[in-house]
Amino acid sequence: MPYERILREEDPAAVARRNLEQDLDAARAGLCQAELKLTAVPGADGLWELQLRLTSDLSLPGTVVGHCLPVSLSHNEALELSTLHTDHGMVFSIVPAHCLTRFVGFHLTATTEGQTMRTAFVLKLPATGFPEDRDSHVLRAIVQNREGFLRILLLILMDEETGPGTLATMGETGCGSTGQFLEALGIPLFEELVRASSRHPDKITRISELLDELTDHGRKTDIVPADFRELWQVFADYSARRRGGRRHG
């Protein structure tokens, strides 16, 4: 009896899923290759308008619907990609400077024959018009109060000895002054600064840069606790005397 090869029909649902995967891959590749650019436009009250523009053609498969938004915005502020054309850009919500970002999230949904597949990814896009002091705005947004400042300070000073225990208690409420807060964590701040200046001088540089950023080079001091500013001045004077002693020694 001659051998007969039996061909089985592929499951229609599996075919539909494979087609959706191909469509999503094609849509993602098209977005990655598209010439997308962000532009920040200053507005009133220190706010900014973030625009997304397309300088080349973009065609998505008919089964795919896409949305996008800067990663600093909430998901309900996403805009549909069908509104993006070479002659018509997208305008996202008006945002403060610290929300300006080059990272844009894309959410794609492909649907056919009752089957649905989704994918999401982030692209870092070229941008123009961002303020030069944007990093300072981002830092101030993160460090909005005394506790936030102390957490950043501890992260800079942390090493293998102080790290684990400090991380475990950083979320707990501190008391009173900066010194009391750090004493509760078992960290003698002045000694930590002296040790860092000797073993890890880059940490002192980072703290100095942090203070400059947060205080606008001494013009705005409300975020940095007053007792830390006093301690930092004592430390700066001590470091200057020590450096002077070395030069004359």
- pLDDT category of residue 105 using cuts at 50, 70 and 90: very high
pLDDT attached to residue 31: 93
User: In whole angstroms, what is the distance from residue 108 CA to residue 60 CA?
Assistant: 10
Q: Are both 195 and 96 inside the same structural domain?
A: no
Maximum distance among all Cα pairs of the chain, rounded to whole angstroms: 106
Asked if residue 4 is part of any domain, the answer here is no
- pLDDT of 123 above 80: yes
Number of Cβ within 10 Å of residue 184's Cβ equals 14
Measured in whole angstroms, the distance separating CA 169 from the mean position of its chain's CA atoms is 24
Tokens of residue 129, six digits: 């018009």
Over range 140-161, report the average pLDDT.
Answer: 70
Residue 7 lies in a domain: no
Quote the percentage of the chain above a pLDDT of 70: 76
Between 189-199 and 146-157, two packed helices, what is the crossing angle to 10 degrees? 40
The domain boundary, picked from 101, 130, 159, lies at 130
Give the integer Cα–Cα distance in Å for 210 and 196: 15
Mean pLDDT of the chain: 78
Q: Kindly state whether residues 18 and 116 are assigned to the same domain.
A: yes
**Statement to judge: residues 84 and 24 lie in one domain:** yes
* Domain boundary residue, one of 107, 130, 153: 130
Q: Which domain holds residue 204?
A: 143-248
pLDDT given for residue 25 in this prediction: 94
With a cut of 80, say whether residue 202 has pLDDT above it. Answer: yes
CB 80 within 8 A of CB 108: no
The answer to whether position 20 is within a domain reads yes
Q: Classify residue 135: in a domain, yes or no.
A: no
Residue 206 lies in a domain: yes
Structural domain count of the chain: 2
Report if pTM > 0.95: no
Same domain as 181, residue 78: no
| Final residue belonging to a domain, choices 130, 163, 189 | 130
In a domain, 3, yes or no: no
Same domain, 167 and 119: no
Query: Is 67 domain-assigned?
Result: yes
pLDDT tens digit string along 41-81? 998 888 999 999 988 878 889 999 999 999 888 888 899 99
Residues 39 and 96 in one domain: yes
| pLDDT band at 169; cut points 50, 70, 90 | very low
240 and 148 both lie in a single domain: yes
115 inside domain: yes
Whether residue 232 sits in one domain with residue 207: yes
| Whether residue 150 is found in the same domain as residue 120 | no
Which CATH number do you get for residue 107?
Answer: 2.60.40
**Residue 6 predicted with pLDDT over 80:** no
117 and 156 in one domain?
A: no
Query: Within this chain, do residues 164 and 211 fall inside the same structural domain, yes or no?
Result: yes
| Share of residues in the chain with pLDDT > 90 (%) | 26
Residues 152, 97, single domain; the answer is no
